[in-house]
Structure 1
Amino acid sequence: MKLLVNLSSLNHPLTGIGEYTLNLVKEMLDDDQVQDIKGIRSSRYLDRHQISVLIAALEQGHQTDQPLTRYLKKMSRLKLIARIARKAINAYREISFRFYRNMLKHYIYWEPNYICLNHQGVCVPTVHDLSHLICPQFHPKARVKYLKAELPRTLARAKHVIVVSQYTKQSVMEHFDLDDRQITVVPPSVKSEYYPRTASECAQLKKRLGLPENFILFVGTLEPRKNLQGLLLAYKLLSTELKSQYPLVLSGKKGWLLEEIEKTLQPMLDSGEVIWLGYLNSKDLPALYSSATAFTYVSHFEGFGMPIAEAMACGTAVIASDNTAMKEASGGAVCIVSPHSIGSIAQGMRKVLLDSSYRIECETKGLEISKNRSWKVSKQLLVTALSNLNNGAQI
């Protein structure tokens, strides 16, 4: 099987889609079923060795963008020219893709990030979720418009579709004319680095970051979809004693539509109830998860919910939403709450913090489930689906 992959999501810092792409491609580099693999990134085509070098650089946290791409992305942050910059980036990728597509038409094209480029051969996109249709209020209008226009076109010419959860599979079947046989679930996993860290490692991290002995943790982008407002208001409902014993620690970069969240957050930062670390290098996350007494992830919508799986793998009790794909990510090993009720979220935090037996039960179950997760397993699901297409099988 010859495979072509769009690597445009492989930029530092990696998003969730970037992590998904990197880890699956890394596994496929050594797979005997993949006769050849090429990657497209900006205007360049990368061979197997070049892809390996790129992945190694990203894992070391190095900036890997091409200068023009970096400039266009920087410009896209300015609202007045965001649309022009976005179109320029997409056109730039499409033009460079056309130049090589005749040579690569016998390659199966796997697109890890929703929208396929104009490939003459077999196309297989990955759909992570349909939040742009189900809850468009959590996305910029331009992104919603773009996905509404382009995703139906991609799915119409796709030979097969990859999704990250059973929830997303059902959503795709409900919104588009696809049946069960046309879709394969390839869930994300967690890297081998995510495991319970020693007391010494945790103490070193807490000292370096200025963290207290005990705390509640959230990891993710600060944006409305993650329900930071609900989490903060629920945390306010805890007793003064509980909040002083377990400050709320937030780790993640700022997203969009933060005005309401910042009004609630700033007084809590000033009082010391909440600590915001900003964006942390992924190398610090296993020790950060391991150091937390509990991890909270009460998002309104997730295609999977990777931080839930990461925290479980580090042996930390998790409080998570009862909706969308987060039940799949949690595997029944977490304290389930309603993201729409601050009372439910607060009660979940109280239960995990005050009931040590229950907390230990969640930690133990989480570790057991994590044993069955690996990127090798996910890679094999993907390779099998693509190989069946290469061999002409109807899947």
Structure 2
Amino acid sequence: MRIALNARILQAPRTGIGHYVAELSQALSCDAQLELDFFHGWGWSRQLPAAALPGYNKWTTLAKQVPGAYSLRRQLDQYRFTRGVSRHAADLYHEPSLWPLEFAGPMVMTLHDLTHVHYPQTQPRDRLAEIDRRVGPAVERARFILADSQFVANEIRQHYGVAAERIKVAPLGYAERFRPREAHALRACLAQFGLQPGGYLLCVGTLEPRKNLAQALRAHALLPEALRRRFPLLIAGMPGWRDANLAPELQKALASGAVRLLGYQPDEALAELLAGARMLLFPSLYEGFGLPVLEAMASGVPVLLTARTSLQEVAGPAGVYLEPGDDQGWCAAIQRLLGDQPEWQARRTVGLQRAQEFSWKRCASITASVYRQALE
């Protein structure tokens, strides 16, 4: 069974969907009945792109400035894709993101979330126009739609009117690099940031409104000064839509030295930063899955998060759930986990147990089963 998999997302620095494509592909490669051919925009390969495309950031800047850039790029992609599909004789096409390309055979599509519906402002206008024009017809055309969580599956069914039997939930997994680590194994990585293992709080996510990082800033600012200095708040993630909205709170916190903005971190560095954190703060307002939550639990790190969208499906009994806007509640929960070692240890233990319920092997098994059903 030959699968044409669109891996174009890997031209960009890897975030959520990029990690999904990379990890799922690696897990699928263990299935002897599957042959994967990767389309990466400029051509095809039997191997995943190892790194982001040089100059990708220049392209995204240009695309926001040139009218019709996304439409033009799609036309070029379609031309190269069609030529490659014919040459490789693909049996099925898997689109792991929005707006699938045209394909004569059966197609499986992954919809990770409906951010484009709930937060359209997070997309450049040109790109959003393409999404609005193409996602609906693509959802109708797909034999099956994969969702990361039951929450997203329900949203797809309600928003697009898709029959429940056409939607399959394939929960994500975590990479092997996310694991508990001894303090001595972390010191080299953390030393460059002037940190000690267990001596900081961490947020992971793009700086954009739906991630609600301002919630973490406000809660941290309410901590007693001694705790703020002993446990600084680190934010690891790329700049995003309207990240300037965080500027007043962020600039004040940065000036005090209590908050540090790390920017995008490579895979291994992020895994070590997670393993060394005292806890993960994840105040996001909307998630289709919440991969950093799973990765933190797998690393032995307790998680504080909002009781919204898919996050309870992921963290289950391991999560400390708080309401958005409850600054005092977030602050109190942070203080409790900083000062109550037995509770911290209990949350850590339950999180490690919970993480074992998720794996890329399981995700790949469900995905391969969907491929086979689509070809029947």
TM-score (norm 2): 0.94
User: Which residue, 86, 97, 101 being the options, matches 1:117?
Assistant: 101
CA–CA distance in structure 2, aligned partners of residues 260 and 45 of structure 1: 40
Contact persistence 1:94–1:118 (CA under 8 A):
yes
Contact persistence 1:105–1:120 (CA under 8 A):
no
Q: Which amino acid aligns with 1:39?
A: F
1:102, CA displacement in angstroms? 4.1
Matched residue SS, 2:38: strand
User: Which residue, 103, 111, 120 being the options, matches 1:136?
Assistant: 120
User: Which residue, 268, 291, 316 being the options, matches 1:331?
Assistant: 316
Matched residue SS, 2:261: strand
Point out where structure 2 has 5 or more consecutive residues left out of the alignment.
Answer: none
Q: Which amino acid aligns with 2:222?
A: L
Contact persistence 2:11–2:40 (CA under 8 A):
no
Q: Corresponding residue for 1:16?
A: 16
Matched residue SS, 1:349: helix
Q: Corresponding residue for 1:26?
A: 26
Q: Which amino acid aligns with 1:136?
A: P
Q: Corresponding residue for 2:70?
A: 86
Matched residue SS, 1:125: strand
Whether 1:368 and 2:367 are equivalent positions in the alignment is no
1:295, CA displacement in angstroms? 0.9
Matches within 5 A, 1:91-170: 91-103=75-87, 107-170=91-154
Contact persistence 2:64–2:124 (CA under 8 A):
no
1:208, CA displacement in angstroms? 2.2
Contact persistence 1:238–1:350 (CA under 8 A):
yes
1:260, CA displacement in angstroms? 2.1
CA–CA distance in structure 2, aligned partners of residues 104 and 277 of structure 1: 42
Matched residue SS, 2:262: strand
Matched residue SS, 1:232: helix
Larger displacement relative to structure 2 (240-249 or 181-190): 240-249
1:378, CA displacement in angstroms? 0.8
Larger displacement relative to structure 2 (248-257 or 294-303): 248-257
Q: Which amino acid aligns with 1:241?
A: A
Contact persistence 1:336–1:348 (CA under 8 A):
no
Instruction: Pick closer, same or farther for the CA change 1:90–1:262 going to 2, 3 Å.
Output: same
Matched residue SS, 2:11: coil
Matches within 5 A, 1:165-204: 165-204=149-188
1:233, CA displacement in angstroms? 1.6
Contact persistence 1:165–1:304 (CA under 8 A):
yes
Contact persistence 1:113–1:127 (CA under 8 A):
yes
Q: Which amino acid aligns with 2:340?
A: D
Instruction: Pick closer, same or farther for the CA change 1:178–1:292 going to 2, 3 Å.
Output: same
Q: Which amino acid aligns with 1:250?
A: I
CA–CA distance in structure 2, aligned partners of residues 340 and 291 of structure 1: 27
Q: Corresponding residue for 1:209?
A: 193
TM-score (norm 1): 0.89
Matched residue SS, 2:103: coil
CA–CA distance in structure 2, aligned partners of residues 80 and 19 of structure 1: 24
Instruction: Pick closer, same or farther for the CA change 1:23–1:150 going to 2, 3 Å.
Output: same
**Percent of matched pairs sharing the same residue:** 28
CA–CA distance in structure 2, aligned partners of residues 132 and 344 of structure 1: 30
Contact persistence 1:317–1:359 (CA under 8 A):
yes
CA–CA distance in structure 1, aligned partners of residues 358 and 116 of structure 2: 28
Contact persistence 2:148–2:171 (CA under 8 A):
yes
User: Which residue, 319, 326, 329 being the options, matches 1:344?
Assistant: 329
| Residue-by-residue CA offset, 1:118-139 (whole Å, 9 max, x unaligned) | 0000011100101221233444
Matched residue SS, 2:99: coil
Q: Which amino acid aligns with 1:287?
A: E
Whether 1:231 and 2:231 are equivalent positions in the alignment is no
Root-mean-square deviation (CA, aligned residues, Å) is 2.0
| Residue-by-residue CA offset, 1:325-360 (whole Å, 9 max, x unaligned) | 111121220111112332332232223222222211
Q: Which amino acid aligns with 1:373?
A: F
1:141, CA displacement in angstroms? 3.8
Q: Which amino acid aligns with 1:5?
A: L
CA–CA distance in structure 1, aligned partners of residues 126 and 65 of structure 2: 12
Q: Corresponding residue for 1:38?
A: 37
Instruction: Pick closer, same or farther for the CA change 1:369–1:13 going to 2, 3 Å.
Output: same
1:265, CA displacement in angstroms? 0.8
Q: Which amino acid aligns with 1:24?
A: L
CA–CA distance in structure 2, aligned partners of residues 252 and 177 of structure 1: 34
